[in-house]
Amino acid sequence: QPGQPHHPYHPTHGVHAQGAGMGGSGLASQMLDVNAVDPRSAMFDIHCKRIHEYKRQLLNILQVVDRYLRLCDSLPGGHEQHLYRQMPGRPAGAPNLVPHGPGANPKLVIFGGKAAPSYWAAKKVIQLILSVASTINTNTATKRYLQVCFVPNYNVSLAETLIPGADMSQHISCAGTEASGTSNMKCAMNGCLLLASRDGANVEIAEAIGESNIFFFGYTPEQVAMARDEARRTASERSMASDANPAEPPLCAFDPARRAASAPPMAEPLPKSYFEGALVADSLPSPSLSTATNAEAAAASASASPITHIPSESQQPAPAPAPAAGTYGGALPGRLARVVEALRCGAFGDPSAFMSILDSLGTEEDLYMVARDWDAYVDAVERADAAYLDRESWTSMAIQAASRMGPFSSDRAIEEYARDIWSTEPCVYDPAANYPDDDRG
């Protein structure tokens, strides 16, 4: 109930953590083994489902990078403790994240899911998540406020622990692409609040539990269709313009040779250990080490590798001028442009490993509206962060959401099918009538 003391192993008031080891305490104990996060203060933010471009795990991990960059701007030593090469300078007027202030509650972001064996782009998204996680989780200045975990071999058994123990779950597929979805129902039934696009069953869930208990954002299916038409029209106009002036390559298409010529040179190759850690989940750097140990490891890494660590904010170079309209990054929102630049310059490992899935952002090839939905999505995440700081209100929202999910139960669905589709009558079981001589009671 609202106002009760915190559950000792769960960041909220124990709404969905009172079970026999399968709620918050079960999830916390597993995450402590994996990531050494403090479950008493951190929001458990999960994004667990099949890895697919339309489900937009890419949008989530880009937002995580943005959160990390802002934490590095705000916290003493944030840039110095960054593991790899230099990050882009902080844009003028960029907002800070004040620890424990609005939008900066400690958070563990948990990804889970599998990609189809031949789905190359989905596997690149997983690689990007692991690369970002292995970098963020080693920063001793920021790890109290942000950790990232990719749960390997996600399955039903893991879902039985993750879903009841999570505070918020993301269901952010591009509007008009999800037929229904069922993980959103499972999460809401367990008191896990949804951050969601207006797609699939998210809309029906909001009608049942009330829009005040769900964090909606983004385009509607109609707006997505209009945006795609606009992007195709713009691409066609640019293509015709380039045909009229063959010396100027079309700006709407990705040209590998052009990108290679315009990209900054890689100073030195990344160490082999980085690539091994980026591809194997079990080798992610463990934040369970002490701060001193992590600092010593970072110093040893710096002395053993020519890769330079991030200078302090006073030593940061002046922000680069904004790209001209139509050039790479010119169509991206400011914070998203900085995220892409950080990935492109090698701040999170070898950019050639995942730039191919980022080059469509801001072009007509961004079919799932990652760039167009960015501002609305980040705003929704920040609204959820601010709401989470009021634990009593958050708990009340979770109780209301769970208690209003009855229409989504399998019992209701089967009863409706039996009545309206199968035209069958319920068979009432009466032991006394069927077995009059049975004295077993």
Over the stretch 156-208, which tens digit does the pLDDT of each residue have?
999 999 999 999 999 999 999 988 888 999 999 999 999 999 998 999 999 99
The whole model's pTM is what?
Answer: 0.70
Q: Which of 150-164, 227-241, 409-423, 426-440 has the least mean pLDDT?
A: 426-440
Confidence band, pLDDT 50/70/90 cuts, at residue 26: low
Q: How far is the first Cα of the chain from the last one, in angstroms, to the nearest whole number? A: 38
The confidence score (pLDDT) of residue 127 equals 94
Which of 412, 396, 46 has its CA nearest to residue 191? 396
Mean local confidence (pLDDT), 320-335:
50
At residue 81, the pLDDT reads 65
Q: What is the mean pLDDT of residues 357-379?
A: 91
pLDDT of residue 388: 92
Higher local confidence (pLDDT), 363 or 169? 169
Question: With bands split at pLDDT 50, 70 and 90, how would you rate the model's confidence at 104?
Answer: low
- Tokens, residue 107: 């958070």
pLDDT of amino acid 23: 45
Per-residue pLDDT tens over the stretch 405-428:
998 988 888 989 999 999 998 888
Let me know the angle formed at the C-alpha of 108 by 68 and 69, rounded to the nearest 5 degrees.
0
Longest dimension (CA), the chain: 96
Q: Got the DSSP string for 94-154?
A: PPP--TTSTT---EEEEEE----TT-HHHHHHHHHHHHHHHHHTT-TTTTTTEEEEEETT-
